[in-house]
Amino acid sequence: MSTDTPRIAEHGVATLVGQRVFALALGYEDLVDHDTLRHDPVLAAVAGKLGAGRADCAPLAGKSTLNRLEHAPGAAPTRYHRIGHDGAAIERLLVDLFLDAYAMPPEEIVLDLDATDDPLHGSQEGRFFHGYYGCYCYLPLYVFCGDHLLAAKLRRSSIDASAGAVEEVERIVRQIRARWPQVRIVLRADSGFARDELMGWCEANKIDYVLGLARNPRLVGEITAELAWAAAEAEQTREPARQFKDFRYQTLDSWSCARRVVGKAEQLVGGSGETSPNPRFVVTSLSPDEWAPKPLYERLYCARGEMENRIKECQLDLFADRTSARTMRANQLRLWFASMAYVLLEALRRIGLRTTRLAQATAGTIRLRLLKIGALVRISVRRVTVAMASGHPWQQDWATAHRALTSAG
């Protein structure tokens, strides 16, 4: 971030950004909340502003100042909007924080890609109606590695789900390999990303992939015998049955070469006993010697569902879908603020809570159990004292997190 701040300015950019991100982590998604929060001594202490400002001014900024921060202009700041931001630097920071989380480079990492809907209820720049989601929305692209958020790219919804994926993956992979040149990278995503451009780029850059593949009559025809076996098994046992088949497949005109496809021939059994087929397919660059069909689908590909839980944390717990500003640039910045709030709470979970009952808790649960609690705050000349209730049911986890974060530096 950069600013042409006059000497009379009370709040620096670092304080403004910290105030906004901390408030999102604490559950305050609206800027109007800050007209009250600006007087909060604990938030001011966390932001490094308690006692550091003028006596006639609240420690933190109000909604109007933060509004100017979020509506950062482009390359030419205006008279009233002197704060700008470097989007490329923010994107690099997310990947750098992921890399810094490892003391030693891992042998292999899996990058998960997914797109989701961000519903719009106004006349924001770039709004389009999306037929699948049935609303006007943005279509942000997320990239995760486990619980680590590597990218959150705001996009118009009038595009294919995979649009821009090659550029995002290329940028992230380049940054990762600059630090970890020997790491093996596997790309994982649903059928919306099974595009020849993305698979071809992965093959040319020694990136493995396992992607969902939308079914069609040709694919279903490849597993006819397996579907028949699953149907007979389900009829006999009255339990779901599945079988897998490994085969080579190439589309009629959209793929440049034949690729390995794993088909799941599954027969489901309903509550009343009726059976129904559920064929599924994935396309992959991984060899059969390394990943047999069944574990490839069940252990590797299906694990991508955990990424959807991380997206829900960003969207629901940390308000990444509050994109009500007029311009896409301002809404992208809002998405990044929410992303940094996620990174903050993920670090708390990974470092401070890994030995506690909250080791697998969502951001919303962590906030409810550890952060949104009553306390008595006393402010003296030399210190701020926070006294919490001795009967707090999560006090041991709070103390454990404090010790772990303190020892981590």
User: Which single residue is written with the structure tokens 């389900």?
Assistant: 234
DSSP state of 81: B
Region 364-389: mean pLDDT is 89
Region 162-168: mean pLDDT is 97
Q: Please tell me the predicted confidence (pLDDT) of residue 379.
A: 84
Q: Is 372 left (phi over 0), alpha (psi -120 to 50) or beta?
A: beta
Query: Is the separation of the CB atoms in 143 and 111 below 8 Å?
Result: yes
pLDDT in tens, 308-343: 999 999 999 999 999 999 999 999 999 999 999 999
Task: With a cut of 50, say whether residue 391 has pLDDT above it.
Answer: yes
Its sign, for the CA torsion 359, 363, 369, 374, is positive
pLDDT in tens, 89-130: 999 999 999 999 999 999 999 999 999 999 999 999 999 999
pLDDT in tens, 205-242: 999 999 999 999 999 999 999 999 999 999 999 999 99
CA separation for the pair 86, 233 (Å, rounded): 59
Least confident of 7-16, 147-156, 186-195, 375-384: 7-16
CA separation for the pair 330, 153 (Å, rounded): 13
List the one residue out of 48, 52, 149 whose CA is nearest residue 94. Answer: 149
Percent of the chain with pLDDT over 70: 93
Region 125-152: mean pLDDT is 97
CA separation for the pair 101, 346 (Å, rounded): 11
Region 372-391: mean pLDDT is 86
pTM equals: 0.92
Q: Please tell me the predicted confidence (pLDDT) of residue 2.
A: 40
Q: Is 256 left (phi over 0), alpha (psi -120 to 50) or beta?
A: alpha
Q: Please tell me the predicted confidence (pLDDT) of residue 329.
A: 92
Q: Please tell me the predicted confidence (pLDDT) of residue 188.
A: 98
Region 190-204: mean pLDDT is 97
- The mean predicted confidence, pLDDT, of the chain is 92
User: Which single residue is written with the structure tokens 């380049």?
Assistant: 174
Band the pLDDT of 72: cuts 50, 70, 90.
Answer: low
Tally of CB atoms within 10 A around 230: 24
Task: With a cut of 60, say whether residue 6 has pLDDT above it.
Answer: no
CA separation for the pair 21, 318 (Å, rounded): 10
List the one residue out of 58, 83, 80, 89 whose CA is nearest residue 69. Answer: 83
Q: Is 12 strand, coil or helix?
A: coil
Band the pLDDT of 381: cuts 50, 70, 90.
Answer: confident
User: Which single residue is written with the structure tokens 């929410």?
Assistant: 338
Query: Is the separation of the CB atoms in 28 and 338 below 8 Å?
Result: no
What lies within 8 Å, CB to CB, of 341 at 6+ separation is 21, 22, 24, 25, 318, 363
Region 290-301: mean pLDDT is 97
